[in-house]
Structure 1
Amino acid sequence: MTVEELLDKNMITPLFSPPAQPVLSVSALNRLARETLEQTLPLAWIAGEISNLTRAASGHWYFSLKDASAQVRCVMFRGRNQFIDWLPDNGMQVEVRATPTLYEARGEFQLQVDSLRRAGLGALFEAFEQLKAKLEQEGLFDSARKRRLPAFPQRIGVVTSLQAAALRDVLTTLKRRMPALPVVLYPTPVQGADAAVQISAALQSAYRRAECDVLILCRGGGSIEDLWPFNEEIVARTVAASPIPIVCGIGHETDFTIADFAADLRAPTPTAAAELASPNRTDLIHKLELNQARLRRLARHRLDTHSQQLDYLARRLVHPGRRLEARQAALGHLTQRLRNAMVTARERRHWHHSTLARRLLQASPDFAVRQLALAARAAALTRAMHLQLAHANQETARLASHLTHLNPEAVLARGYSIVQNEQGDIIHGSDQIRVDESLNIRLARGRARVKVTGHST
């Protein structure tokens, strides 16, 4: 066992004095005290009355927080007090959330304030959170219950006070966005002890009358006490039970109420609620103009496409006379080819016979046998020529039959006629004739002259 352990257990008595404690400076002492305070005492809410309030040029607030038997100095730096939307004053009962610390330069105990609220707001916040949790557990805030606002409402209802500045903002916004949109006002107090009951009654009146497509529940900004009617359970349940879509625009952007969570849609301000509930006439006109221009382009493109298709089909449509001429030309070409083929075949046979005769003379063949063979070949050639001529005559007859079918005279014989004006032009449609005009009609047998008494397309 070491000497130090024996000393700790008082088993031996030291024969020498322990070393002296180090000497601290005032700055080191105050710093040690500040660190000890900040590590030992947690961030907490402290209630008291403001006194000796000073707002420094730097933006920091210095004041004392006191009760009946004690007081403590407090500081709230500019970086924190800029989020307070009200000005504290001497004599106010407040609650501060602060960290106990020590101002080292003077060795003074103080509270470094992080947040500041009027006394009693803690209870309001607690009631707010309890009601919010209760209704949320019941499913009143479920997103599945939320309905989309109608894109083109026929009438908008506004539930607010006649004296509220929010009403003027809402009406001005609705007039700017959609001047012809009717607005129905359901007046109700939005502040005071009985405001929650009257707000609920105004909403239920709007439900019974069922004359609006969407409701705007709104009021301007204020303290949490001013907005508290919208945190009452009766208002939240009335909003959640609405058969009409509701948009809430209560307070400023940072203000949240229970009614906001129960409504179908929350807007940061009354003006924003009016913008969400109403269509924008300017945007609708712009979209209409864009769609009109697009429709015009599509119609023009469709017309151009059909016009090109009509031109293509018109080029493919051939007059019967031209088609008959083409058939005649083809028949003449085939006849010439047949004649050329027959001449070529005859010349080829003649050359072949001449070649054979020369070879026969050179070989000095048996003339009797050769004559018999030659006669046989001549007979075969004659039969072949007759067959080829017969085939050519059949093809010529077939083509002539086709030509006969294409002959306009044959068409006339089937009961059709050719109508011509006085200039001899063929009439293809009623748009080429006029009333009292004389026309010539060519029939299969003979002609007729008629006068137009009327026509239709």
Structure 2
Amino acid sequence: MALEKNVLSITELTRQIKFSMESSFPRVWVEGEISNFKQHTSGHLYFTLKDEGAQLSALMWRSRVANLTFQPEDGMKVIARGSITVYPPRGNYQLDADQLQPIGLGELQLAFERLKQKLEKEGLFDAGHKQPIPEFPECIGLVTSETGAALQDIRSVISRRQPSVRVILAPVRVQGTGAAEEIVEAIQTLNRLSGIDVMIVGRGGGSLEDLWPFNEEGVARAIYASKIPVISAVGHEIDFSIADFAADLRAPTPSAAAELVVRDRMELLEDIRNLCYTMRGAVNRQASDLRERTASLVSSYSFNRPKDMVREFSQRIDELERSLGYSFTHRAQKEHQKINFLQQQLQALNPGRVLKRGYAMVRKDGRIVSSAHGLILGDAADIQFHDGTVEVKVEKGHSS
């Protein structure tokens, strides 16, 4: 009897495998090293997670990529969370990742980036809040380890460049548990003292873990709240800390911080010499200009012939006086002629002169009668001649 065979298609087999795997591994955490990393133009991430014994294809959709706080790269060790899925067209299983976190140093770096973004949003790094560093400080507060190389480097630079500057040390631990709290307390203590012009907070180089106290939120807030300008000097030039962003000025090294805050006395002396030279030259040029102007004045005609100048001015005054007199006389004559003309016009219009020529004015009830129609028989009227007035009564009238 022939054995009955249950033959499956590739599609059906793959479908069953897909159902089985996706049901068995709905959510897993896996650890591995990223390889074959690629970000597609669509925004999706495709990569492989591997260890010494196996490898696993993985992907992350664009909507989840936006939540990443770091940039994945080949060789980076990470922990990924996601679900196992099967991609039927190629018949392989893969991790559909929804979270991705770096391991070890990557975790510290992740915490660094998160705190940096948080404090930046709060405005702790705003340039408008930063205080100017005094150009000639007399007293410097120093927050660092009393046994570290940073202290010796800073003191050496200050004693060489400006030995008169005082240094007040607030000793702290600069790494390990409790270091951040000591740094915060030291910054606050120096702010309670008077006479400190500027503060240097820092330490020498080290690993990211060694430098971590300067990446603590409390240290950043203490620096931001400091009334004394703060220079951050943590590690080497390539090292950046949260304290660097919160400080009023970042120095690449502790020695560089001392050089930034204290000017070299020899440079200052040279600046003073240059300033004196410049001032001396300016004074000499001004004195030379004054000598030339004085010599020109002394040799001038007006300086040597003052009587001639007085005579010329006297003559000029006489000319002005004559001109003024002529102008006044001419104007008076014109005004007199104008007055005579106006008087003649007034005389010509004088009613008395008209009456002398044989004319008369007739008034009725005090009003001038200018027409025969203004009077009727029986009206009484006054007739004014040049030498008097008579009263009349109209007895007869004629109209023209």
TM-score (norm 1): 0.46
- Equivalent residues in 2 for 1:60-75 (5 A)? 66=52, 70=53
Contact 1:166-1:270 at 8 Å conserved across structures: yes
Q: Equivalents in 2 of 1:256, 1:130: separation in Å?
A: 15
Match of 1:231 in 2: 215
1:45/1:96 contact within 8 Å kept:
no
Separation (CA, whole Å) in 1 of partners of 2:168 and 2:125: 27
> Offset of 1:233 from its aligned partner?
0.9
Query: CA offset at residue 284 of structure 1?
Result: 1.6
Q: Structure 1 residues 167 and 38 mapped into 2: Cα distance closer, same or farther (>3 Å)?
A: closer
The alpha-carbon distance between structure 1 residues 225 and 37, as it changes in their structure 2 partners (threshold 3 A), is: closer
Which residue of structure 1 aligns with residue 237 of structure 2?
A: 253
* CA drift at 1:176: 2.1
Displacement, 1:156? Answer: 1.1
Distance in 2 of aligned mates of 1:126 and 1:244: 31
User: Is 1:276 aligned to 2:255, yes or no?
Assistant: no
Which of 93, 108, 112 in structure 2 is aligned with 1:124? 108
Provide the C-alpha distance between the structure 1 equivalents of 2:217 and 2:293, rounded to a whole number of angstroms: 71
Q: Distance in 1 between matches of 2:36 and 2:275?
A: 71
1:97 aligns with 2:81: no
Q: In the TM superposition, what are the counterparts of 1:394-409 in structure 2 within 5 Å?
A: none
Give the aligned length.
Answer: 227
- Distance in structure 2 (CA, Å) of the matches to 1:134 and 1:38: 29
Matched-pair contact (CA < 8 Å) for 1:146–1:264: yes
Aligned AA for 1:238?
A: A
Match of 1:151 among 135, 139, 143: 135
Distance in 2, Cα, partners of 1:281 & 1:309: 41
List per-residue Cα deviations over 1:134-171 (Å, max 9, x = no partner). 11111101111112211111211111001111111111
**Superposition pairs for residues 195-344 of structure 1, below 5 Å?**
195-316=179-300, 317-318=303-304
Structure 2 counterpart of 1:228, one-letter code: W
- For residue 205 of structure 1, report the CA deviation from its aligned partner: 0.4
SS in 2 for 1:288: helix
Higher helix share: 1
The Cα shift of 1:309 comes to 2.1
> Following TM superposition, by how much is the alpha carbon of 1:263 offset from its aligned partner in structure 2, in angstroms?
0.5
Structure 2 match to 1:168:
152
Could you tell me which runs of 5 or more consecutive residues in structure 1 were left unpaired when the two chains were aligned.
1-35, 47-64, 73-94, 99-117, 328-457
In 1, the alpha carbon distance for the partners of 2:49 and 2:256 equals: 36
- Percent of residue pairs identical: 44
Query: Counterpart of 2:291 in structure 1: which amino acid?
Result: S
Q: CA deviation at 1:45?
A: 7.1
Per the TM alignment, residue 123 of structure 1 is displaced from its structure 2 partner at its CA by 1.7
Q: Secondary structure at the match of 1:140?
A: coil
Structure 2 residues without counterparts, runs of 5 or longer? 1-34, 56-73, 78-101, 312-400
Q: Secondary structure at the match of 2:201?
A: strand
The structural deviation recorded for 1:42 is 4.2
Higher strand residue share? 2
Cα deviations across residues 176-231 of structure 1 (Å, max 9, x unaligned)? 22121111111111011000000101111001113311100110010011001111
Which residue does 1:180 correspond to in 2?
A: 164
Q: Whole-Å Cα distance in 1 between the matches of residues 254 and 199 of structure 2? A: 12
Distance 1:38 1:217, change over 3 A: closer
Distance 1:215 1:45 in 2: 48
**C-alpha RMSD of matched pairs (Å):** 2.9
Q: Is structure 2 residue 173 aligned with structure 1 residue 194?
A: no
- SS of 2:199's partner is strand
| Bigger RCO (CA 8 Å, 6+ sep) | 2
Within 2, Cα distance between the matches of 1:37 and 1:319? 102
| SS of residue matched to 1:185 | strand
TM value normalised by structure 2 = 0.52
- Contact conserved, 1:44 with 1:97, CA < 8 A, in 2? no
Residue deviations 1:103-156 (CA, integer Å, cap 9, x gap): xxxxxxxxxxxxxxx952222111111111111111101111112211111211
Quick one: distance in 1 between partners of 2:256 and 2:54? 46
